[in-house]
Chain A
Amino acid sequence: MGIISDLRTRLPALFTRRGMESELDEELAYHLEREAEKLVGQGMDPAAARREALRRFGGVERHREAARDAWGVRWLDDLWRDLRVGARALGKAPGLSAAAVLTLGLGIGGTLALYGATHALLVRPLPFGAGDRIEVFWFEQSWRGQEFDHIREDVRAFDQLAAYGTEMLTLVHDGGREPIPTIVGSAELFDVLQARPHLGRTFREGEDRPGAQPVVVLSHALWQQSFGGDEAVVGRTIELDGTRREVVGVMGPDFFFPDPDQRAWTPLLLDPADPVYATNGWLVVIGRVAEGATEAQVRAEMGSIAARLGERFEYPADWDKSTGAHSTPLRAHLFGDVRPVLRLLQGATALLLLMALVNVAALLLSRMVDRGHEMRLRTALGASRGRLARQVLAESTLLAAIAGGFGIAFALAGFRAIATRLPVGGGFGAAIELEPWLLAAAVVAAIVLGALIGLAPLQGLLRVRPADLRPGPRGEGGTAAAAGGTLQGMLVGAQVVVAVVLVSGATLFARSVAHLYAVDLGLEAKGAGSILVSVDPEVPGGSSQWVERLLADVRAVPGVEHAAFGARLPLRDGGLQGSTAVRDRPDLAGEDAMNAYFRPITPDYLATMGMRLREGRSLRPEDRAGGEPVALVNAAFARAVWGGEDPLGKAVIPTFGDRWARVVGVVEDVPLEGIRAPAPPVVYVPWAQWDGAWPGGVLTYRTAGDPADLLSAVRAAAEASDPTAVALRPMTLEQALDGSIADALRLRFFLGALALLALFVGAVGVYGVVSYAVSRRTREFGIRMALGADRRRVVREVLLREAPPLVLGVGAGVLVAAGAARAAAGVVYGVRPIDPLSLLVGAAILLGVGTLAAFLPAARASGVDPGRVLRWE
């Protein structure tokens, strides 16, 4: 009963305070009126009566206070007052407050944005039913239709298997032509994923067989953007790469497979009569693990699938699909490579936040100690320690709340930019959203942080006895200053350590960024295009004649300056490597044999790819079958085998060859295995001198203008080169290589930006803390100079006093940074993880900033008029 009526009074009091207060005023006014009337009735003069009534009443304000107390809203009043005072205090040191808000805000905002982004990638479920039960089979992107058909039935540990490949098809509509990244999949693809369409249907059984009607399933984004979200699109026929296809379904807005960049799905054509069926290894095979199947069962299944492949097909040793069978969960396949990187980013951001916190705590502590005077005054006026503590807490919470608001705004504004630059390919960055609950969490975090930060100055305050807060002879709050000084020194030290780590990291990564941008891909991706072309193995005249015809046709396309053919595309395609014999190095045999990549190319290859020749000559049309076998090696090969010796004239037997070939030229390195690894050794041989087992490869061409313009013409020419010719995956060379480099580039950008931020925050933090510590000694300088101290000596003393935490911090920071750099070793390329230069720069920058921060205020202070300072005292 009591509680309810209690609440009934308190709750409305919270919300309708003003109303209740005015009612109270009215009530008290009535009381005073009646009392005055009574007194007049007793003979008093009206004015005197009113005064007497008021006197007896004891002052209205006290009643108001008491009433508010009874209403239980005094705490609200106090809080509001504390906040107002806190705001005023913050305003009195605008530079410091701004620095604190800025660093904390950036820390909060950066953390919020990054965690929001990485959370979506690492944790959010995949947008189709079977999500975590999908396994990707080994040898991705190299399965042939024939192989897939052989294994797709009769699996037990898996419910179903599916295969898919990536294509770039041109969509023709009234808006013009548009290249659409498309997935070409077997009929059961969507069933394996357990994905339901938003409109219409997905593939039906048999749609991947010859004779089936061509169909297409659109992605939600494509549907919205190119078809206006028209619900009547199902049933329409559209033209994709020259084939008219019926739109049978549209997927939901969240769906993607395997990444958000893919905009449409068409059925794979599994036709045994098609030459590509048996020769083109470009598919990825996936399977949905059956409910209740154990890991052992899955592994066993893999083994038996591999065995079945081995029975049916023959594989060269390096390309043996029948061994090493394993599967990778889809999520790991998509993000696996990226997980440690993302963790690294998270770690770096957390460190940034930590530094910001330490920074702000140090700032507040400095200021709090300085406000000893103010504290003494308030104690004299009757404030309790608890009251002062509450005041300080309110102030720091206010600071944190403002910083939090700023941080949230920063995160929202920068989220898009951050997300699209995350080191994951496939358009994932663009597809993720900052979830609202994260924003809410950030707000709560900011408040909690504020309380935590407030604890630091409180520490100093509470350790001090109230007696010490009363005016002392030195007028500086005696013990308070000392207690604050040690804690403050520690905070400066901690601040510097973290700052050094981050700044060193910054320099380290900045150097990686610079290095990467300077990294020579060894080829010129701009201005070139690539298409996969293959023919029937029984093509009349053999594959080399066909390739010549092909190139002649392509060169006839107006705009094509160079054209060439090669077995593989660098950076994107691996494979085709093996041991290479070297005539004058018989020791390189057996286990020590030189392992090099094997690349058959046509004469114009180097010019087309923009690759550079270091010595000797490129391949020529004269290097044909029946002629002297020749070869080119790359610089890495020459270095590894012959060291400084001139490679020209030496002889090698390339991997798939059987005769000595003379080395006639040395090619500059191309990082075939990807950006993060050094360039491997490569041997290039003339296409004409090699009778390949696979009559297919990569056609490349170079043009002065935009290679995308010529894609369809070149493709048409390629398909015209022979009735059985098939051309796939036409794209510019930049697009083709994008997947390999872009991720690394994005990571570097990201880390570079994070590092710069860290540098900024670190420098501001150190500067703020140290300069403030010095500036509050202004009084002391004035006194000492008035007492005749030499200006230079004063400044020197200051520097010496501020030095220990700085130097210790830097030293400790360097050690920690060195340790952390080891952890980053996998991610950093081109710069040794223990990089003395980076560590040195980090330490130097912070020492410099710290010294400057101590020197400037000291210099300023020592120039202060002593008279003025003494008057202040």
Chain B
Amino acid sequence: MDKSRNDMIKGTLDMLILKVLSLEPMHGWGIGERIQAMSEEILEVNQGALYPALHRLVRRGWITSGWAVTENNRRARFYELTREGRRELGEEVEHWRRLSTAVDRIVAAS
């Protein structure tokens, strides 16, 4: 897939991360894989942007992190959504819907 078309706006990545974490707590690599999987391989997370995004979200207080043991008995840092994060997710999804609806309307006009 042509990478440039799939470059995500920073804000969108944040929203997707929040969404993934709203389903279950996950470590960084897992989040990237999950986004890819859920989008049916259309979206490939730019690995360089993932961790900075995670740090940003932690600073904003929307997610927290902690160390835990994975299924293969290795130590990894897990992230999970906070209450404020859940609220923020709701707002961002709402915002996204309005945005995409507006774009759809324009594109569908003939």
Interface residues of A (CB under 8 A from B): 1-2, 4-6, 9-10, 23, 26-28, 30-31, 33-35, 38, 56-59, 62-63, 66-67, 69-71
Q: Which residues of chain B are within 8 angstroms of A62 by Cβ–Cβ distance? A: 48
Given contacts A5-B61, A27-B28, contact A58 B48 (CB under 8 A): yes
Closest residue of chain B to A62 (Cβ to Cβ) is: B48
Q: Are B60 and A2 in contact (CB under 8 A)?
A: yes
Judge if B96 is at the interface, Cβ distance under 8 Å. no
Most buried by A among B33, B51, B56, B77: B51
Kindly count the residue-residue contacts between A and B in the assembled complex, taking CB atoms under 8 Å apart: 65
Alpha-carbon distance between A31 and B59 when the two chains are bound, in angstroms: 21
Chain B residue contacts of A33, Cβ below 8 A: 74
Name A10's closest neighbour in chain B (CB-CB). B59
Q: A30-B29, A57-B47, A58-B47 are in contact. Are A4 and B55 (CB under 8 A)?
A: no
Chain A, Cβ-Cβ closest to B83 = A1
In the complex the two chains form, is B77's CB within 8 Å of A1's CB? no
Let me know if A70 and B47 touch, CB within 8 A.
no
Q: How far is the CB of A158 from chain B (nearest CB, A)?
A: 70
Given contacts A23-B77, A30-B76, A56-B47, contact A66 B61 (CB under 8 A): no
Taking CB atoms, residues of chain A closer than 8 Å to B86 are: none
Question: Chain A: which residue is nearest B30 at the CB level?
Answer: A34
Q: Which single member of A1, A23, A69 contacts B61 (CB below 8 Å)?
A: A1
CA distance A27 to B47 in the complex (A): 13
Instruction: Write out the residue numbers on chain A whose beta carbons fall within 8 Å of the beta carbon of B56.
Output: 70
Q: CB-defined interface of B41-63 with A at 8 Å, one 1/0 digit per residue?
A: 00000011001100110111100
Contacts A5-B61, A35-B29 given: A30-B48 contact, CB under 8 Å? no
Q: Is the CB of A71 within 8 A of B55?
A: yes
Q: Whole-angstrom distance from the CB of B5 to the nearest CB of chain A?
A: 18
Q: Chain A's nearest CB lies how many Å from the CB of B56? A: 6
B55 touches A67 (CB 8 A): yes
Residue in B closest to A24 when the chains form the complex, CB atoms: B51
Contact at A30–B75, with CB atoms within 8 Å?
yes
Q: Could you jot down 13 A-B contacts, CB within 8 Å? A: A1-B84, A2-B60, A6-B59, A26-B77, A30-B75, A30-B76, A31-B29, A34-B29, A38-B33, A58-B48, A59-B48, A63-B51, A66-B55
Interface residues of B in 72-98 (CB under 8 A from A): 74-77, 84
| Contact residues of A: prevailing secondary structure | helix
A63 touches B74 (CB 8 A): no
Closest 10 CB pairs of A and B: A5-B61, A70-B55, A58-B48, A66-B52, A31-B29, A34-B29, A27-B77, A30-B76, A57-B47, A9-B59
Q: Are B55 and A30 in contact (CB under 8 A)?
A: no
- In the bound complex, residues from chain A placing their C-beta under 8 Å from that of B51 are 27-28, 31, 63, 66-67
Across the interface, do B52 and A63 meet the contact criterion of CB distance under 8 Å?
yes
Residue of A2, A9, A27, A56 with most chain B CB atoms under a 10 A cut-off: A27
Contact for A5 among B60, B67, B75, B77, CB less than 8 A: B60
- The distance in angstroms between the C-alpha atoms of A63 and B73, with both chains bound, is 25
User: Which chain B residues lie closer than 8 Å to A34 at the CB level?
Assistant: 29-30
Chain B residues, CB < 8 A from A38: 33
Contact A4 B61 (CB under 8 A): yes
**Shortest Cβ gap from A67 to chain B (Å):** 6
Residues of B14-28 contacting chain A, CB below 8 A: 27-28
* Across-interface contacts of A71 in B (CB, < 8 A): 55
Q: Are B48 and A63 in contact (CB under 8 A)?
A: yes
Q: How far is the CA of A406 from the CA of B33 in the complex (A)?
A: 59
Give CA–CA (A825, B47) in the complex, Å: 79
Q: A27, B60: Cβ atoms under 8 Å?
A: no
A4 to B58, CA, bound (A): 11
CB distance from A781 to the nearest CB of B (A): 53
Chain B residues contacting A56 (CB-CB under 8 Å) are 47
The reply to whether A27 and B76 form a contact with Cβ atoms under 8 Å apart is yes
Which single residue of chain A is at the shortest CB-CB distance from B50? Answer: A31
Tell me how far the C-beta of A122 lies from the nearest C-beta in chain B, rounded to whole angstroms: 53
| Interchain nearest-CB distance for A64 vs B (Å) | 10
Question: Are A57 and B75 within 8 A (Cβ)?
Answer: no
**Contact partners of A10 in chain B: CB under 8 A:** 59
Known: A1-B84, A6-B59. A26 touches B75 (CB 8 A): yes
Among B29, B33, B67, B84, find the residue whose CB has the most chain A CB atoms closer than 10 A: B29
CB of A31 within 8 A of CB of B28, answer: yes
Of all chain B residues, the one with the shortest Cβ separation from A57 is B47
Least CB separation from A58: chain B residue = B48
CB distance from B38 to the nearest CB of A (A): 17
Considering only CB atoms, which chain B residue lies closest to A4 in the complex?
B61
A63 CA to B28 CA, complexed, in Å: 13
Please tell me which one of the listed residues B27, B29, B61, B67 contacts residue A2 in the complex, with CB atoms under 8 A apart. B61
Q: Name the residue on B nearest A9 (C-beta).
A: B59
How near does chain B come to A40, taking the closest CB pair, in angstroms? Answer: 14
User: Which partner residue on chain A sits nearest B51 by CB separation?
Assistant: A63
Q: How far is the CA of A224 from the CA of B56 in the complex (A)?
A: 66
Q: How far is A685 from B103 in the complex, measured between Cα atoms in Å?
A: 121
Among residues of B, the one whose C-beta sits closest to the C-beta of A65 is B52
B61 lies within 8 A of A6 (CB):
yes
